[in-house]
Amino acid sequence: MKVQIPIGPQHPALKEPIGLRMTVEGEVIHDADLRLGYNHRGVEKVAEGRSYIQNLYLTERICGICSHSHSTTFAQGAEILFEIVPPKRGQFLRYLVSELERVHSHLLWLGVAGHEAGFDSFFMYVWRDREIVMDILEMISGNRVHYAINTIGGVRRDIDEAQRTKILDLLAVLRARTSFYLNLGTTEPSFVGRLAGVGYLSKEDAMSLCAVGPTARASNVPRDVRKDDPYGIYDEVPFEVCTADTCDVLGRTVVRIKEVLQSYDIMEYLLRNLPAGPVAVKAPRRPKPGEIVSRYEAPRGENIHYIKSNGTDKPERLKVRAPTLGNYAATIAMLKKGFIADIPLIFAAIDPCICCAERSVELVDSRSGRPSVVRWSELRRMAGRRAARDSKKRNVEWPL
Amino acid sequence: MLKRLVRWSRIKSPWILHLNSGACNACDIEIVAALTPRFDLERLGVLLKATPRHADVLVCSGPVTRQMKDRLIRIYEQTPDPKFVVAVGACAMSGCVYRGSYNILGGIDQVIPVDVYVPGCPARPDAILDGVVKLLGKL
Ligand code: SF4
């Protein structure tokens, strides 16, 4: 007998509002359906009414965990439209913050994964060490989460020599702690037992479902924008793309810890080779008309911004494709044939950032359109059914 | 006597439910950070609960999207009396950068009564701590 269980939007396993609808038979999940839109704030529409500088702060607030990713993606695109190039030192500092953000995001995830696996002391330990990263970020930018360090044409703040050495010292501490976690995460038998084999996503599926970021890399797909299409300074920084071939949650854990270690290397390189000079150039008031697509490897995967300018001081259109959106299709594949008890773990393993994914009105369209390669008819039916259901439920109370 | 006992236990162990009504996640991770070793809200007896039926205090963040409005009211109604609401972040107070968007209501207090506001975008964990302590002081 098949039973449908709704989960969410407010549910202990999910930190953000999202609805899941599982069709289960006994303990085994047969089908999964995501119900989205609880976190839709209309950011893209708001962006059309703000100037480029204001939009930097707005895009930063698309998501709190990868805030710097969104504002950097936007700034990279805008800088091309404004026809300016940020100075070397500004770029180094910008991507230094990027890597710090990657570390903070991955440590955060690692803690959450420990929590979902029932290893709460691991969670507390990791979050304690994460505070070191937050301290560094606060020292560089003045804020813990929304750093607001980007500006069009560079960064807003410089660091001095004392701060530079301080950061290098703190990085050494972090590196020691992270190696300890890598060791623990891969050898502690109960932890490994809980994670291994859960949420299997084969390499072929990861490719055909367009998985991005650590989810794809854990299925042995070496996909990383920093290597594939280097932006900023990444073509001169030595680093490796970390992959794993276990295709499960354990692989995703290992990939993230290894990436954190790579990030330490990148940051050390950036700090040791920090060039002298100004950190920003002045941007003209208005950009040239045109359109641009900007790509960036956020902690969760590839982040794409499309900006269309009509020559005024406000963008005509901003479209954001956040990494979590790319991973939804893969999540459904992972959930199938899994157990109910594994839902939080599998779901947490893509490191979902619902607020990232939900600013665009076309969300439903893009979802049913994306996995067309695999099960077009099936998803069409699901989407149609959902549209029918939702139109009745939709809140009709509009302003004006 | 019984009243004093109830009051004492209420102050000593306020259990909280964390509710995201469309926030950008930054406030949420700061709420979780407030519960972890550096700031350790748990030493005040605060415990993060998973269901509104166990909670005394709703810690809400976010500007309340139209989709979440009904859910927010429902969760508020499911919480047993007496209940308190802490609004964390500029969004929860007034809508922050999203103010003026078609899909948000602009603040928790547009939907349910709020006892304590914690400003900041995002509110620092220390500020959240302070907000909770102020709430406990009010009881
Ligand atoms: S107040 Fe700021 S940090 Fe908090 S949810 Fe709103 S935008 Fe995000």
CA distance A3 to chain B (A): 23
Nearest to A15 by CA among B86, B113, B125, B21: B21
Residue that has been written with the tokens 């930097």 in this structure: A56
- Pairwise CB contact (< 8 Å): B71 & A15: no
Residue that has been written with the tokens 């710090």 in this structure: A100
> Residue-wise pLDDT tens for chain A (400 aa)?
666 666 666 655 555 666 667 777 767 777 777 777 777 777 888 888 888 888 888 888 888 888 898 999 999 999 989 889 999 899 999 999 999 999 988 888 888 888 877 788 888 888 888 889 988 988 888 888 888 888 888 888 888 889 899 999 999 998 998 888 888 877 778 888 777 777 788 888 888 888 888 888 888 888 888 888 888 888 888 888 888 888 888 888 888 888 899 999 999 999 988 888 888 888 888 888 888 999 888 888 888 889 998 888 888 888 888 888 778 778 777 777 777 767 777 767 666 666 555 543 332 323 333 322 223 333 334 444 444 444 433 333 333 2
- Pairwise CB contact (< 8 Å): B23 & A399: no
> pTM for this one?
0.84
Please answer whether residues A348 and A300 qualify as being in contact, where contact means their C-beta atoms are separated by less than 8 angstroms.
no
Nearest to B103 by CA among B54, B64, B139: B64
A29, A192, A211, A250, B1 from A334: Cα distances, Å: 10, 18, 11, 14, 56
- Pairwise CB contact (< 8 Å): A42 & B50: no
Interface of A with B (CB under 8 A): 9-12, 15-17, 37-43, 45-46, 49, 57-58, 61-65, 67, 108, 111, 123-124, 127-128, 130-131, 134, 144-146, 353, 355-356, 395, 397-399
Beta bridge partners of B116: B86
User: How many CB atoms neighbour CB B126 within 10 A?
Assistant: 13
- Of the residues B32, B39, B58, B66, the best mutation for testing chain A's interface (the one with the most A CB atoms within 10 Å of its CB) is B66
Please state the three-class secondary structure of A71-113 as a single string.
Answer: HHHHHHHHHHHHCCCCCHHHHHHHHHHHHHHHHHHHHHHHHHH
Enter the CATH code of domain B14-132. Answer: 3.40.50.12280
The encoded tokens of residue A392 equal 């009745």
- Of the residues B101, B104, B110, B129, the best mutation for testing chain A's interface (the one with the most A CB atoms within 10 Å of its CB) is B101
Q: Does domain A43-322 have CATH number 3.40.50.620?
A: no
The encoded tokens of residue A282 equal 């002045």
Predicted ipTM? 0.87
| Segment (H or E) for A19 | strand A19-25
- Pairwise CB contact (< 8 Å): B36 & A124: yes
Q: What residue segments make up the domains of chain B, in order of their start?
A: 14-132
The DSSP-derived string for A272-288 is: HT---S-SB-PPPSSPP
